[in-house]
Chains A and B, each alone.
Chain A
Amino acid sequence: MSLDVAAVKAQFPILDQQVYGKRLVYLDNAATTQKPRAVIHAIQSFYEKDNANVHRGVHALSERATAAYEAAREKVRGLLNACSVREVVFVRGTTEAINLVAQSWGMARLRAGDEILITEMEHHSNIVPWQMLCERTGARLRVLPINDAGELCMEQLPSLLNERTKLVGVVHLSNALGTINPVAEIIRQAHAVGARVLVDGAQAAAHMPIDVQQLDCDFYATSAHKMYGPTGIGVLYAKETLLDEMPPYQGGGDMIRMVTFEHTQYNELPYKFEAGTPNIAGAIGFGAAIDWLRGLDMGEIAAHEQNMLQEATRRAKDLPGLRLVGEAKHRATVLSFTMEGIHPHDLGTILDREGVAIRAGHHCAMPVMQRFGVPATVRASLAAYNTLDDLDALFLALEKACAMFA
């Protein structure tokens, strides 16, 4: 079976509109995906029928809100195939998840002289928290380089791993290049030297099945809004043994069992890491997005997006002056490129006026731009609802831009 793209697309009310008198063609899915009716309705229904604070009240609404919030946690557990909901911590998004690990696990575990290994293709959110941690602990940040195709130089990994390496941070699917990294192999080698591994799954979760047990990663972070869910909610998965050892990240309500002025006893997992009233509606929307995705077939989504990406790549190579940035063998969803003589920012404006929404910029991955010697790229990124018509519109607009700058 193949994905019924028209039926999928019909579930996204926002896509049925015109901008500047042109059909909206949304190709900025790596920034954030659009939301299906099921997600929008879940959030609206929560506020219309069940809204109350969680884990507190004895009244009916609070019990319903708590049940819905915890049901969402179970859905996230299923999405990642975590062992237990105790390993599923709700956070604002991938960025907060990584900061949580850096601040809590990192501050407790790292000493001067220790090493953190990341890669050259990381998003700023998987660079800066580690730099901040290094500044505070005296640990050293090391970087696994990438090759001209935008793939990790895996042959250099063994020489960068040693007994001082305490953590490896690696992106599962690069937002700037589309590269799918061999995270299982990286985890195997990192574990062999005793290092923990954090996988940045912000982009991956909407495009491939995730199994944290099979990967054997120590931490996995992702965001709902890049997988058809709402903004402001994401998840940190961590192995229970690690979460048990880690000190709380923030203090406040809900993360405690008992408070006196002399001593505070922390709550059990995962609540120890969820201080304050959480994003309840967001978590419920996240759960609805997971249900919606599970109603489809992840294999069919991936196959559809892969066909589209191959077609887009083929057309891109036929366009004179277009240079692809990122041609990894294992790649998904992202077509990143520059055009000779036209700055990405100008392309962004011209495409926008044709109704085509893409991203022009450094994609929060400035080191990747530096590696490829470009100030910025144009990035078209695909989701389940994109069609060949969308690619037609993209390439027609690119030709128009070329004519304008000729």
Chain B
Amino acid sequence: MFDLKDLYQQVIVDHNKHPRNFGRLEDPSHEAEGYNPLCGDRLHVYLKVDDQDRIEDVRFEGEGCAISMASASLMTEALKGRTLEEFRALFEGFHELVTSSGDVACDETDLGKLAVLGGVRAFPSRIKCATLCWHTMKNAIERSGVARTE
């Protein structure tokens, strides 16, 4: 059985308390708002993408539970300097990490630090907390608007 400690790992508690890349980004090339009406989590992500499709800067602001805050913080760390192509691969990999029922098919090492969020698999009601920021980011890149995880 998964223990609470698998969910609230030290990295997650730390990123929740001290979220990285937190705050507004002036002059973003892309931005989107994400909202989870069930628990009230609200995120705004900002991106600056250069003409080589590389994520030059990324920030977020909002409020939510530890899982959503830590996930957003870890996501921004993982995305800085990556191309949009790489974002799509990470999006798929992360999605599989937190939703796959059996052994994780994707290589966790590719996901780096993001792998600490794998614990949410055992907490079905919390998966959308971890994925809200990723859906919001996808929306920001593909279109503007409000992402929902329901």
Interface residues of A (CB under 8 A from B): 20-21, 341-346, 349-350, 353, 360-362, 369, 375-376, 404-405
Contacts and interface: CB of A to CB of B under 8 A. Distances in A.
Contact of B126 (A342, A349, A376, A404): A349
B116 interface: no
26 contacts: A20-B1, A343-B64, A343-B65, A343-B66, A343-B69, A344-B39, A345-B39, A345-B41, A345-B64, A345-B65, A345-B67, A345-B129, A346-B65, A346-B67, A349-B4, A349-B123, A349-B125, A350-B4, A353-B4, A361-B39, A369-B40, A375-B39, A375-B42, A376-B40, A404-B4, A405-B13
Contacts of B7: 349
Contact of B13 (A21, A376, A404): A404
A405 B66 contact: yes
Nearest to B5: A404
Contacts of B129: 345
Interface of B: 1, 3-4, 7-8, 13, 16-17, 38-42, 63-67, 69, 123, 125-126, 129
A353 B122 CA distance: 11
A369 B41 CA distance: 13
Contacts of A346: 8, 65-67
Contacts of A375: 39-42, 63-64
Nearest to B39: A345
Contacts of B125: 349
A139 to B, nearest CB: 27
Contacts of B17: 341
A319 B67 CA distance: 24
A344 B66 CA distance: 10
B98 to A, nearest CB: 15
Given A345-B65, A346-B66, A349-B123, A404 B8 contact: yes
B19 to A, nearest CB: 13
Given A349-B125, A350-B8, A360-B39, 6 more contacts: A21-B1, A345-B39, A345-B41, A345-B64, A369-B40, A375-B63
B78 to A, nearest CB: 22
Contacts of B3: 353
Nearest to B69: A343
Contacts of B4: 349-350, 353, 404
A103 to B, nearest CB: 25
A349 B17 CA distance: 18
Contacts of A341: 17
B7, B13, B65 interface centre (most CB from chain A within 10 Å): B65
A350 B13 CA distance: 13
B63 A361 contact: no
A361 B66 contact: no
Contacts of B41: 345, 375
B2 to A, nearest CB: 9
Contact of A362 (B13, B40, B65, B123): B40
Given A20-B1, A345-B129, A346-B65, A361 B40 contact: yes
B72 to A, nearest CB: 13
A278 B42 CA distance: 41
A237 B16 CA distance: 49
A376 B40 CA distance: 7
Nearest to A21: B1
A101 B147 CA distance: 35
Contacts of A21: 1
A81 to B, nearest CB: 38
Contacts of B66: 342-343, 346, 405
Contacts of A362: 40
Which 10 pairs across A and B sit closest by C-beta, in order of nearness?
A: A375-B40, A343-B65, A345-B65, A345-B39, A346-B66, A376-B40, A346-B65, A353-B4, A404-B8, A362-B40
Nearest to B42: A375
A353 B6 CA distance: 12
A346 B126 CA distance: 9
Nearest to A347: B65
Nearest to A345: B65
Nearest to B120: A349
B3 to A, nearest CB: 8
A20 B69 CA distance: 26
